[in-house]
């Protein structure tokens, strides 16, 4: 094939792919936000058609030739196209090994799994979700065996979410984190219940919380003409391009803080996407580069900014305006302490920074064992509860607050969870450099978070997928990733808070 | 082509079309409900790709052959497939005459027009919308001239919305309606301001109105697992299949009635779609058969049921529960009179039944003249205001409350408005028959509206597009359409209300 023809066909496939991905993304967002329950069958049919069309779009001799021609002429490609071709080639080498029928059937499985999970969580009935999860796990094993039979199936999926990541790296990372944090958590626990939290569960009308979310997005300098907010069972962020990003949250009448940190976390994901470079628009690189890097940003805003004292000082007067009765006897410092109280708990998304990694370790452990056939789906609830007792010392009262709490498995995300822990650790390393270059605390206190975002944009955001995930920390900090920063960050923060 | 091959290919095109239509429908619904403002360019690109793919799906030699083969073998087709082929053939004979580039460009025009209209209405700036409307009108003229150069271009589009409808029929219909209603409106006006409406603008919190909408949908026996409600600038109904219907409404703090009748009106559209026969699922017939028939149903629920005294008696105790302060000094009969007060006004969707047709006549007149080049888009606001003064006697204070009030033109619906007036008239004829067969008023009073819906399902809904629009009134009533029923209905109702 001529180089020019190949490039043209590559662009055309990209244009079509963008449209299908956009439509599938909106269908999925719609299904989680507003679509009525019984819409699931119609949607599954459309997923099937689209996944079939998308499969055929790249799995054909002509497109193989396109990729081949472009790879052979890599020296003629500009930097952006070269990276697009690299990613397309990797993706093609995987998808072409999966029979179309299995690929298409799986999309339908996902449509039904999502509905089933919502229903299962609502009714606290794991059985409703179990057969769907079994199909999802089976598909993940199958794909790994088809695409990379030489790899461990869980390593295969870890590598999918973060190129180069494997169990060996993660085991070492979690071991190091655990070795440092468990004694720290113990020391904190020995200090006893010294942080006041009586005001944390006071009832705050959801209508007012909705307006409060708008305020929080404003503090984050999120342009609402480019970013919408909606409500879902489980908060998430989705994006179609840098001018169409959506975050979601979940309101709990009795926990204004739950929504607040969901909005800040998802807002962090959004800021990454909203600041992708314009030159990447329409290309396959116009997204955050990996889940770990993405989570490093969402958890950076949520914790390193959002749970800092300057941030609480900035927003607390507004909190008192929105909820005057609820917080009339509370000062900013008390609120700061309360949102940082370290206490082993049930729900990952509401966990404090110190114990958060333990929630991830439970999931990592279970995913690993499911992918290795060492734990059956039917045993999952009891294993979940056992590990929560062992790692966090808490009793799980129901599957809704246990194994069903997270959306990820129902969306087919096996291997995603470690991103959260890694991301948290990346953020701790990155903030050290920011603090050298900017007056970090002052910027937050003065409502100039956008200047921190601008720094991150220059180092990470604007590059989209042009930046390789493994290079992100290095590019931002000038050093290789080192989990010691994370341990030092948490040790410092909790030593101060608890006067250890 | 073999008959069997043709049938198989026809089914496959149908399956793909369904998926694309579904995706386009969800993209459009999303754009009106939640998508951020700047999402428009990305969406326009996806519209372009999809309209191109859909165009190519049917405009090709093979598909011409498919349709040709099926038409020649019509005797071998079952009733449903035969009607699908008939509709597909008609649609193909039109679309193949439009060059693909123009067809695709128009989809992008529509994406931008919708955004521009929302912005224009918000800021009361007709100029923002004018160039888009010009493009839409030009496209409509162009399509009419390409597809049916022998037809009047406005007749062409009337016929599109309701097979067989033309200006001649409509002129006669509106003339007859006007001749009877104008004197009736005059007699009502002479009675003076005898209906109490002081309570109609009292502030009702939107949060409570949202819960009130849920109640109204419950009274209509709408299954919420099949039907969602959302909020938009202009209320509408959209459906993807009988298990995925969405209605929208718009809340005004100072008018609980505005939302209430939006929900009932759109709920009427929804009930039609929700009761399409199961055997039509997945076929091209699984929709309401025409806009007039659709509007006959929405306006049937809105007015003939919703503005009846039994209905107000049924719901008024609940209204007092939701809004105890606002209606503490009001009784059901006063509320009934207030929602039926005849008063020439500005906003079509909030007009009473008596003056409603005059709002349609203004739009009909203007569409006709735009399509004939007798009114330029730039002259539209002044012509609108002039006709409102002439027909309704009201001064239009702003374009937002005037020419920009309706969503239709921005969505490319030229020729749609007459459906509302025709639909109202159909309903008046249909209810006469219902009253002979059912105890209409008792069913409403006893919260058994579902039994009226069941009657309409048997006569109309379950047939979907298998029923020809021109046959709907006949099939439901055993008689040809006769506008005299509508005139008698309004005369009777308003004679009683105003004691004429």
What pLDDT shows up at residue A23?
Answer: 97
Contacts 24+ apart (CB under 8 A), B346-350: B346/B388, B346/B394, B346/B396, B346/B397, B346/B401, B346/B402, B346/B405, B347/B401, B347/B405, B348/B405, B348/B406, B349/B234, B349/B235, B349/B258, B349/B261, B349/B262, B349/B265, B349/B405, B349/B406, B350/B255, B350/B257, B350/B258, B350/B261
Domains and CATH numbers, chain A: 3-150 (no CATH), 167-498 (1.10.1370.30)
Q: What are residue A26's phi and psi, to 5 degrees?
A: -70, -40
> Rounded distance, CA A87 to CA A465, Å?
9
Nearest to B95 by CA among B52, B42, B138: B52
C-alpha dist (Å) from residue B304 to B57, B299, B444: 43, 7, 11
Residue from B84, B266, B273, B383 carrying the catalytic annotation: B266
Q: What is the pTM for the complete model shown?
A: 0.94
B19 with A241: Cβ contact below 8 A: no
Per-residue tens of pLDDT for chain B, all 500 residues: 999 999 999 999 999 999 999 999 999 999 999 999 999 999 999 999 999 999 999 999 999 999 999 999 999 999 999 999 999 999 999 999 999 999 999 988 998 999 999 999 999 999 999 999 999 999 999 999 999 999 999 999 999 988 889 999 999 999 999 999 999 999 999 998 899 999 999 999 999 999 999 999 999 999 999 999 999 989 999 999 999 999 999 999 999 999 999 999 999 999 999 999 999 999 999 999 999 999 999 999 999 999 999 999 999 999 999 999 999 999 999 999 999 999 999 999 989 999 999 999 999 999 999 999 999 999 999 999 999 999 999 999 999 999 999 999 999 999 999 999 999 999 999 999 999 999 999 999 999 999 999 999 999 999 999 999 989 999 999 999 999 999 999 999 999 999 98
Q: Where are the beta strands (DSSP E) in B53-111?
A: none
Q: From the CA of A207, how many Å to the nearest CA of chain B?
A: 7
What pLDDT shows up at residue B162?
Answer: 87
Cβ atoms of B307 and B493 within 8 Å: the answer is: no
Task: Tell me the average pLDDT of chain A.
Answer: 96
Cβ atoms of A287 and A464 within 8 Å: the answer is: yes
Which residue among B26, B50, B241 places its CB closest to the CB of A27? Answer: B26
Its sign, for the CA torsion A441, A442, A448, A452, is: negative
Q: From the CA of B39, how many Å to the nearest CA of chain A?
A: 5
Which residue among A26, A207, A226 places its CB closest to the CB of B38? Answer: A226
C-alpha dist (Å) from residue A28 to A187, A271, A282, A411, A412: 44, 21, 20, 10, 13
Q: What's the average model confidence in pLDDT over A211-222?
A: 98
Q: Is A266 a known active-site residue?
A: yes
Q: From the CA of A386, how many Å to the nearest CA of chain B?
A: 36
Residue A178, judged by CB atoms within 10 A of its CB (0-12, 13-18, 19+), counts as: middle
> Rounded distance, CA A202 to CA B47, Å?
47
Q: Is B26 on the interface with A (CB under 8 A)?
A: yes
The two three-digit tokens of residue B475, written as one number: 């099939």
Q: What is the DSSP letter of A253?
A: T
Q: What's the average model confidence in pLDDT over A6-30?
A: 97
Which residue among A49, A230, A241 places its CB closest to the CB of B15? Answer: A49
What pLDDT shows up at residue B103?
Answer: 94
What pLDDT shows up at residue A453?
Answer: 98
SS3 percent helix, strand, coil of chain B, rounded to 5, is 70, 5, 25
Residues of B in contact with A282 (CB under 8 A): 45
Which residue among A45, A49, A227 places its CB closest to the CB of B36? Answer: A227
Its sign, for the CA torsion B321, B322, B324, B326, is: negative
Evaluate if residue A56 carries a pLDDT over 90: yes
B245 with A30: Cβ contact below 8 A: no
> Rounded distance, CA B450 to CA B219, Å?
9
A225 with B27: Cβ contact below 8 A: no
Buried b (16+ CB within 10 A) or exposed e, B68-107: ebbeebeeebeebbbbbbbebeeebebbbebeeeebbebb
Nearest to B272 by CA among B232, B320, B237: B237
> Rounded distance, CA B454 to CA B449, Å?
9
C-alpha dist (Å) from residue A350 to A215, A235, A339, B266: 20, 12, 10, 40
A38 with B224: Cβ contact below 8 A: no
Residues of A in contact with B282 (CB under 8 A): 45
> Rounded distance, CA B101 to CA B51, Å?
10
Task: Tell me the average pLDDT of chain B.
Answer: 96
What pLDDT shows up at residue B451?
Answer: 98
> Rounded distance, CA A195 to CA A392, Å?
19
| Collapsed DSSP state (helix, strand, coil) of residue A101 | helix
Evaluate if residue A465 carries a pLDDT over 90: yes
What pLDDT shows up at residue B321?
Answer: 98
Q: What's the average model confidence in pLDDT over A375-403?
A: 96
CA end-to-end span of chain A, whole Å? 69
A42 with B36: Cβ contact below 8 A: no
Q: Is B45 on the interface with A (CB under 8 A)?
A: yes
Cβ atoms of A24 and A47 within 8 Å: the answer is: yes
> Rounded distance, CA B463 to CA B478, Å?
16
- H/E element, A385: helix A380-387
Q: From the CA of A65, how many Å to the nearest CA of chain B?
A: 23
Buried b (16+ CB within 10 A) or exposed e, A444-481: bbeebbeebbebbbebbbbbbbbbbbbebbeebbeeeb
Nearest to B343 by CA among B499, B498, B177: B498
> Rounded distance, CA B26 to CA B43, Å?
11
Residue from A32, A266, A309, A353 carrying the catalytic annotation: A266
Q: From the CA of B125, how many Å to the nearest CA of chain A?
A: 19
Q: Is B372 on the interface with A (CB under 8 A)?
A: no
Cβ atoms < 10 Å from Cβ of A347: 12
Q: Is B243 on the interface with A (CB under 8 A)?
A: yes
Q: Is A18 on the interface with B (CB under 8 A)?
A: yes
Q: Which residues contact B295 (CB under 8 A, 6 or more apart)?
A: B419, B420, B422, B423, B424
Which residue among B46, B223, B244 places its CB closest to the CB of A35? Answer: B244
B34 with A33: Cβ contact below 8 A: yes
Which residue among A15, A26, A225 places its CB closest to the CB of B26? Answer: A26
A45 with B18: Cβ contact below 8 A: yes
Nearest to B357 by CA among B84, B155, B139, B175: B175
B46 with A207: Cβ contact below 8 A: no
pLDDT band at A163 (very low <50, low <70, confident <90, very high): confident
Q: From the CA of A214, how many Å to the nearest CA of chain B?
A: 14
Cβ atoms < 10 Å from Cβ of B264: 27
Note the pLDDT tens digit of each residue in A253-270: 999 999 999 999 999 999
What pLDDT shows up at residue A93?
Answer: 94
ipTM field: 0.93
CA-nearest residue of chain B to A244?
B39
Q: Is B17 on the interface with A (CB under 8 A)?
A: no
Q: Is A194 on the interface with B (CB under 8 A)?
A: no
C-alpha dist (Å) from residue B47 to A311, A339, B50, B371: 42, 45, 5, 26
Q: Where are the alpha helices (DSSP H) in A388-483?
A: 418-437, 440-445, 449-459, 469-477
What pLDDT shows up at residue B182?
Answer: 92
What pLDDT shows up at residue A162?
Answer: 87
Q: What's the average model confidence in pLDDT over A445-451?
A: 98
* Distance from the Cα of residue B466 to its chain's centroid: 19
Its sign, for the CA torsion A149, A153, A156, A161, is: positive
Q: From the CA of B391, how many Å to the nearest CA of chain A?
A: 40
Cβ atoms < 10 Å from Cβ of A102: 12
CA-nearest residue of chain A to B223?
A36
Which residue among B27, B35, B246 places its CB closest to the CB of A23? Answer: B27
Nearest to B269 by CA among B310, B227, B332: B227
Q: Is B324 on the interface with A (CB under 8 A)?
A: no
């Amino acid at each position: 094939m001529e180089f020019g023809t190949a490039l043209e066909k590559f662009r055309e496939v990209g244009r079509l792919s963008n449209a299908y991905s956009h439509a599938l993304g909106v269908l999925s967002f719609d299904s989680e936000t507003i679509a009525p329950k019984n819409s699931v069958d119609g949607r599954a049919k459309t997923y099937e058609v689209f996944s079939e069309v998308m499969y055929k779009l790249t799995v054909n001799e002509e497109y193989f030739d396109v990729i081949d021609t472009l790879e052979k002429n890599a020296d003629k490609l500009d930097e952006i196209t070269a990276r697009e071709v690299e990613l397309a080639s990797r993706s093609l080498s995987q998808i072409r090994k999966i029979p179309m029928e299995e690929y298409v059937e799986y999309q339908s499985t996902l449509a039904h799994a999502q509905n089933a999970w919502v229903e299962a969580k609502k009714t606290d009935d794991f059985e409703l979700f179990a057969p769907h999860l079994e199909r999802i796990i089976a598909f993940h094993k199958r794909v790994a065996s088809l695409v990379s039979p030489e790899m461990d199936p869980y390593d295969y999926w870890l590598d999918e979410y973060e190129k180069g990541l494997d169990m060996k790296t993660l085991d070492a990372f979690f071991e190091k984190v655990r070795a440092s944090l468990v004694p720290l958590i113990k020391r904190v626990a020995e200090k006893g219940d010294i942080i006041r939290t009586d005001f944390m569960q006071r009832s705050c009308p959801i209508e007012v919380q909705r307006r409060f979310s708008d305020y929080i997005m404003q503090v984050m300098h999120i342009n609402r003409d480019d970013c919408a907010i909606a409500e879902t069972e489980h908060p998430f962020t989705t994006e179609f391009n840098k001018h169409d990003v959506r975050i979601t949250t979940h309101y709990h009448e009795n926990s204004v803080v739950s929504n607040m940190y969901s909005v800040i976390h998802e807002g962090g994901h959004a800021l990454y996407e909203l600041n992708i470079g314009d030159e990447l628009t329409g290309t396959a690189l116009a997204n955050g580069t990996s889940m770990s890097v993405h989570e490093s940003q969402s958890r950076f805003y949520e914790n390193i900014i959002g749970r800092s004292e300057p941030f609480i000082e900035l927003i607390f007067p507004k909190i008192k305006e929105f909820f005057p009765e609820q917080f009339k006897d509370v000062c900013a410092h008390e609120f700061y302490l309360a949102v940082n109280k370290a206490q082993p708990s049930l729900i990952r998304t509401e966990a404090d920074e110190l114990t958060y990694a333990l929630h991830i370790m439970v999931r990592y452990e279970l995913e690993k064992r499911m992918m290795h056939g060492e734990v059956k789906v039917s045993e999952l609830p009891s294993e979940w509860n056992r590990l929560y007792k062992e790692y966090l010392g808490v009793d799980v009262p129901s599957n809704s607050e246990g194994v069903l709490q997270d959306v990820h498995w129902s969306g087919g995300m096996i291997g995603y969870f470690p991103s959260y822990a890694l991301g948290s650790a990346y953020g701790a390393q990155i903030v050290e450099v920011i603090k050298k270059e900017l007056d970090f605390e002052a910027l937050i206190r003065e409502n100039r978070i956008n200047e921190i975002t601008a720094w991150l944009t220059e180092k990470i955001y604007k590059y989209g997928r042009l930046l390789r995930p493994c290079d992100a920390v290095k590019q931002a900090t000038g050093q290789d990733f080192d989990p010691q920063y994370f341990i030092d960050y948490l040790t410092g923060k909790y030593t101060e808070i608890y006067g250890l």
